[in-house]
Amino acid sequence: MIVSVGFPTGMEGLTYPIPFSEPDATISIAKHAEVLGYHSIWGNDHMTTQNYVRAEFSRPPRFWDILITYAWLASQTKSLRFGTGILVLPMRRDIVITAKQLATLDHMSGGRLELGVGIGAYREEFEALQPGERAPRGRILEEGVRALRNLFTEDRATFDGEFFRFKDVELFPKPLQDKIPIYFGGNNVNQLRRTATLGNGWLPAGLPLDRITADIIRLRQLCANAGRDFSEIAIAPQYIAIVDHNHDRAVARFASSQMHKHLVSLTQSTLKEQAGVSMVEANLIGTPAEVVEKALALKAAGVTHLLGLYFAVNTVEELLDQMTLFAEEVVPLL
């Protein structure tokens, strides 16, 4: 099972307090992940402050652009891969520029880019950037992926869609990798369909074991219907993690974290279908033995990649400690 780490490109005020992600801290986290042997880091993509964050903090969070941040980190690492978890395509409407940035980053990193895409958890962000837009973000997302595929593969790319249009574009160089892996992020059934038809991986968040088991079975059938080889699809969920040698202390640390407040906010969007589900039971929270047991159950259900473990901490020092503890006491048993 592949194991990766969530990365704070746009997490201040949401999953971590303000301030949190100083530039020097981001390079420390990335280098620590590489030394510990994590496969990749997965940052998120935000442009403006969410309503609940504005209500809690008087100081706006710093949301670093994920692609520029990764370009900087790639120059200071050798093997660590860089994943967007997720790149919100409905907020990035100049798709040719986005494709150029992605292809450039893939080259500059030596082919270490992985692309997670989605609609974004907070509609107010989309409305701030695209005022008056009424189209479903899912349609924009799906068309955006098709446009990216066009730009990445055609020598002279032309696309005439509902939301994205370009004509006779020679986008060179193409990505260094033969095919940049594309993951569709989200828990909605539509993301299963998009993964089966367009994606290389599925990136849900915080799904309990019974739900992800059922969804994997559904995805397998959708792949068969689409003529896709299911074994080539990465099943790569995100989970919150906090490991402590005392179970009650692990639960208490989670409850006191900014991450917990973030999950509560997501019950109105990404996690709205999980009302009544215990956040502690659904995520990787507990002693090392308890977390190993949960992770192995996910592996048995078909999970191939613990993508973006988002540690429920309030300081960078805690984050580095949790990354070490998980790498040393959980990962070897998976």
Whole-structure pTM value: 0.95
pLDDT at 275: 64
Helix (H) or strand (E) holding 185: strand 182-185
The domain ranges of the chain are 2-333
Which pLDDT value is given to residue 268? 72
pLDDT at 277: 77
pLDDT of residue 243: 98
Q: Which long-range contacts (CB under 8 A, 24 or more apart) does 294-302 make?
A: 294/209, 295/1, 295/330, 295/334, 296/333, 296/334, 297/209, 298/209, 298/212, 298/237, 299/1, 299/334, 301/209, 301/212, 301/213, 301/216, 302/213, 302/216, 302/220, 302/235
pLDDT tens per residue, range 196-222: 999 999 999 999 999 999 999 999 999
Report pLDDT for 264: 84
pLDDT (0 to 100) of residue 100: 98
pLDDT at 266: 78
Q: What is the pLDDT of residue 261?
A: 87
The tens place of each residue's pLDDT in the chain, 334 residues long, gives 999 999 999 999 999 999 999 999 999 999 999 999 999 999 999 999 999 899 999 999 999 999 999 999 999 999 999 999 999 999 999 999 999 999 999 999 999 999 999 999 999 999 999 999 989 999 999 999 999 999 999 999 999 999 999 999 999 999 999 999 999 999 999 999 999 999 999 999 999 999 999 999 999 999 999 999 999 999 999 999 999 999 999 999 999 999 998 888 877 766 766 666 789 999 999 999 999 999 999 999 999 999 989 999 999 999 999 999 999 999 999 9
% the chain with pLDDT above 90: 93
CATH of domain 2-333: 3.20.20.30
Distance between CA atoms of residues 5 and 311, nearest Å: 8
